[in-house]
Structure 1
Amino acid sequence: MAKWELGRLWQTLTYFEVIPFINCWQRIFKRSQLQKSKQQTSMVILVAGATGGVGKRVVKNLLEQNYQVRALIRDVARAKDMLDSRVELFEADITIPETLKPEMMQDVSTVICCTGTKVQPVEGDTPTREKYYQGIKFYLPEVVDTPELVEYEGMKNLVKVVSAHIPPATNKLIFDFTNPNAEIKETWGAIDDVVMGGVSQSNIRLADGKAIFSGIVSTDNNGGFASVRTRNFDTPLDLSDYEGIELRVIGDGKRYKFIARCEGKWDGIGYCYSFDTVYNFPTTIRIPFQDLIPVFRAKTVEDANKIDASKIYSMQLMLSKFEYDGELNPKFEAGSFTLQVEYIKAYGGQAKPQFIQISSAGVTRPGRPGINLEEEPPAVRMNEQLGGILTWKLKGEEAIKASGLTYTIIRPCALTEQPGDKILYAEQGDNIRGQVSRDAIAELCIQAMNLPQAVNKTFEVREESQQGKTDWQNLFANLQQDS
């Protein structure tokens, strides 16, 4: 009988922070090491027009709610004076498509667009745009920021690059092993049967655009399993909006297990799913949450609750000689093994808005039969004098709807600097008038971003007279999707 490998046991327990005193120092060291990589890999909210009246409020609210924010702005120097230093600045101009680079969209999950035409009060006092972007000079003589250029042509440019690079709204990428980084390397570690006296050995390494889980599994010393597992996530994953987990793998013909945990215990209940692989052939494995089996040390737990997908603490991949309750894995063989994993994602989620646009109430009214311009707000009465600003905003909305992105188009009534402490009222048909706080619109954007009920809806919004909190879900649930 082989000796219990105490060195490997100690290494496993310390890696997974099972020993309290060492845990404390490990966390301090790990956070300092991973701070930069987490900053690079977290999903990002892109705010276009981030230095405008609504845009700067959107940025502020996002930061307060711990989102990572990237600002699309024309002038970096101006933005640095206005925005928090935590905001990543990307200098570009939506009216110059060459400046909208693919890297602008890296890791972006949602775009909140607060761009708009700056109306010039004096005829002839509109400077031409002469600007450097990433070392390239763009000079457009006789071209000014007209509503057509900003609200329509600029919007087409923006949605084109967004639709080409934003990920599908119904999937959530959890681990992308095709783009390895320090955080992934420090998250996964081996847990083999050494914890119960066995001698199996495994590891996980990143190579050729995949995570390679490999090693040698042995039944000596009553062992028979090898696995790799994540450390507990700093913040448990909320996957409650999704149907299950998807893995893209290349296997060796053996049967493996995927395990997720919805509590932070080292040795608590795990939720398991067994899956077969085809030798050296790419396979997509879909694991519905409802099919995960609650187990404790390979024994099913009959009275356990179903997995709580709103708090996933860790994930694990395992090769074991056992299935469940003493039954043997029919495809198990002692010896070497290899499982290559390209990605792990949540699938089947409800679509949420990918593009949120701040438009304007009244965009359909210029030229509408029966409209009495004397009763309309100034923007509607003066649409022609303002270069057809509402007409071009409406065409910009149409460009968003034609892009294939899931969207929410918000048409605020007259914007004010008042506190956003009143209940919001929303309606469709472009008939309402009134006013609404920029603070309230900024928060409305963030709420819409997280609600499937907001998908593909266009609506007008104003404040009610009474103070209070808006019921966001009810606000969107009472609106109809665009046809």
Structure 2
Amino acid sequence: MADQNRSQWDLGRFIQTLTYFEVFPCLNWIQQLIQGRSQDSQLPTDRDKNMGVILVAGATGGVGRRVVKRLLARGEKVRALVRDIEQARTILGHDVDLVVADITKPETLTPVVFSNIQAVICCTAVRVQPVAGDTPDRAKYYQGVKFYQPEIVGDTPENVEYQGVKNLVQAAAAYLTPTNEKLIFDFTHPSTELKNIWGALDDVVMGGVSTSNMQLGENTALFAGNVSTANSGGFASVRTKNFEPPFNLSGYEGVKLRVKGDGKRYKLFLRTDTKWDGLGYSYSFDTIANTWINVPIPFNELVPVFRAKTVKDAPPIDSSRVNSWQLMLSKFEYDGALNPQFSAGSFALELASIKAYGTASKPKFVLVSSAGVTRPGRPGINLDEEPPAVRLNEQLGGILTWKLKGEDSLRASGIPYTIIRPCALTEEVGGKSYIFEQGDNIKGKISREDVAELCVQALQQSKATNVTFEVKEGVDVAQFIDWQQLFSELKPD
């Protein structure tokens, strides 16, 4: 009865909650003015530390630099493997994590290079340059102009395309496992930044008096507090601020919590927009008192809700745009139904991690090779009708032959992979449709921009696992690409 009669509402905590989540910008401005703080003084989030790194080899090349740009735009944590750090800065800027190594020198491929990596994209290539008086416009070759006579500049194809790729594959194999998981929040390694991501969002916002917070211990986080039904309240929660850019979890099946609870039923909410009081996607889960359990939460079982009421006509969650996360203990389930495991009073939920998971493995190593690698020496091939790289393979130090051997080293490694064989690369503007084929017979061209996008997309598609394919541009501008459908038409090696 005492709990039911308690009715003292905390206006200060209400304002503090709205200020923390920046519901009314003017409140934040006033607080900063009073406390003498600026937005620039706030700590950055810990998100990057909890994300796996994507290592890009050949990051300063024509495809590699575009891969880096696209990964960063998607909010991925990127590490560029470079040989010359000063030159790399001029090409990639000062906001990219650089590591100095040389794939042709295995002793430089140290654990520092591969620390916390989740995937590798290899765009390395020997430099091929036309001799004086020739033109690099490969499209002219297909108009009957056959004066393109390229030559190798710098290291040999054997050292780069085969031995270098093999070195990189062998070194990466110790760090890339076939498991399809992505670490999102690692509470076993607490930090101030991680603590400042999460803030209390209790029923004080609707007149209640429940209290909670997120505390970081030595190797777990603790969502704890006291939930009260006084003043028609009955929920306590912690929520993250909005992430920019949002988490891209496309290609995953759901998220998995590692928790130890108190026997109560809790909820996880994911939000795909930045609204303070908008649509959320909810999942209720039961805990076992004093026992660590894994809680898999499939995206297709999330319930769209608005203020604890289901939204029947809401679309499925867009897992490519997860803006915020929320944990809640509430006396209600949905649409007025009561939580059968609810009891007012103190509660405690420990968390070790939140991960994204998938039922199928996705590529961990994307290798950019070349169309035509199997054609030199193939019976029935008319070299006069082949692209310059095929026709001049021997003059170019067996470049395609060594690329094929580099591919084979990846196939034999056990790392889930995608091998992309683009046709002639151009500096043209990207955005065209893609034409995929297998069998190494197609000819054509494709923009480096589009190859870079293809590298990034391959990492998200389970259907791209252990697949080798050739690609050229189509005639149409690509308004929308169904990547899952595109990759599903390919056969695994």
Give the TM-score range, shorter chain.
0.7 to 0.9
1:85 is the counterpart of 2:94: yes
Question: Cα deviation per residue 1:413-433 (whole Å; 9 max; x = unaligned)?
Answer: 444555558766443222334
Candidates 52, 65, 71, aligned match of 1:56: 65
Candidates 18, 22, 27, aligned match of 1:22: 27
> Is the 2:51–2:184 contact (alpha carbons within 8 Å) kept by the matching residues of 1?
no
Local SS of the residue matching 2:258 = strand
Change (3 A) 1:309 1:444: closer
1:8 is the counterpart of 2:13: yes
Normalising by structure 2, report the TM-score.
Answer: 0.78
> Is the 2:310–2:334 contact (alpha carbons within 8 Å) kept by the matching residues of 1?
no
Question: Cα deviation per residue 1:227-269 (whole Å; 9 max; x = unaligned)?
Answer: 2122233444454544333211011222222233445443445
Candidates 403, 408, 411, aligned match of 2:413: 403
Deviation at 1:164, TM superposition (A): 3.6
Candidates 100, 108, 123, aligned match of 2:109: 100
1:284 is aligned to 294
Change (3 A) 1:331 1:439: closer
Give the distance between the partners of 1:63 and 1:320, measured in 2 at CA. 38
Give the distance between the partners of 1:259 and 1:416, measured in 2 at CA. 45
**What pairs with 1:444-455 in structure 2 (closer than 5 Å)?**
444-451=454-461, 454-455=464-465
RMSD: 3.8
Change (3 A) 1:233 1:25: farther
Candidates 353, 356, 367, aligned match of 2:377: 367
Local SS of the residue matching 1:165 = coil
Local SS of the residue matching 2:42 = helix
Question: Cα deviation per residue 1:83-139 (whole Å; 9 max; x = unaligned)?
Answer: 323322110112333322334345545432111245799xxxxxxxxxxxxxxxxxx
- How many residue pairs get aligned? The number is 459
Local SS of the residue matching 1:392 = helix
> Is the 1:218–1:334 contact (alpha carbons within 8 Å) kept by the matching residues of 2?
yes
**What pairs with 1:324-473 in structure 2 (closer than 5 Å)?**
324=334, 327-348=337-358, 352-373=362-383, 375-381=385-391, 383-384=393-394, 386-416=396-426, 425-451=435-461, 454-462=464-472, 468-469=477-478, 473=482
Deviation at 1:49, TM superposition (A): 1.2
Runs of 5+ consecutive residues of structure 1 not aligned to the other structure: 122-143
Candidates 203, 209, 213, aligned match of 2:223: 213
2:268 is aligned to 258
Give the distance between the partners of 2:284 and 2:56, measured in 1 at CA. 42
Question: Cα deviation per residue 1:427-473 (whole Å; 9 max; x = unaligned)?
Answer: 32223345555455444434545555544332234456x68559754
Percent identity for Structure 1 against Structure 2? 57
> Is the 1:49–1:116 contact (alpha carbons within 8 Å) kept by the matching residues of 2?
yes
Give the distance between the partners of 1:312 and 1:65, measured in 2 at CA. 12
Question: Cα deviation per residue 1:49-96 (whole Å; 9 max; x = unaligned)?
Answer: 123343334445556677654321112133233332332211011233
1:160 is aligned to 170
Give the distance between the partners of 2:436 and 2:127, measured in 1 at CA. 26
Change (3 A) 1:281 1:21: same
Moved more, 271-280 or 244-253: 271-280
Deviation at 1:23, TM superposition (A): 4.3
Give the distance between the partners of 2:353 and 2:373, measured in 1 at CA. 44
Give the distance between the partners of 1:442 and 1:254, measured in 2 at CA. 47
Letter of the 1:56 counterpart = R
Moved more, 59-68 or 218-227: 59-68
Local SS of the residue matching 1:8 = helix
Deviation at 1:157, TM superposition (A): 2.6
Give the distance between the partners of 1:405 and 1:471, measured in 2 at CA. 30
Change (3 A) 1:362 1:75: same
> Is the 2:45–2:194 contact (alpha carbons within 8 Å) kept by the matching residues of 1?
no
> Is the 2:461–2:487 contact (alpha carbons within 8 Å) kept by the matching residues of 1?
no
Change (3 A) 1:228 1:418: closer
> Is the 1:428–1:479 contact (alpha carbons within 8 Å) kept by the matching residues of 2?
no
Deviation at 1:161, TM superposition (A): 3.8
Give the distance between the partners of 2:385 and 2:316, measured in 1 at CA. 57
Letter of the 1:274 counterpart = S
Question: Cα deviation per residue 1:370-394 (whole Å; 9 max; x = unaligned)?
Answer: 3345554554455456544322211
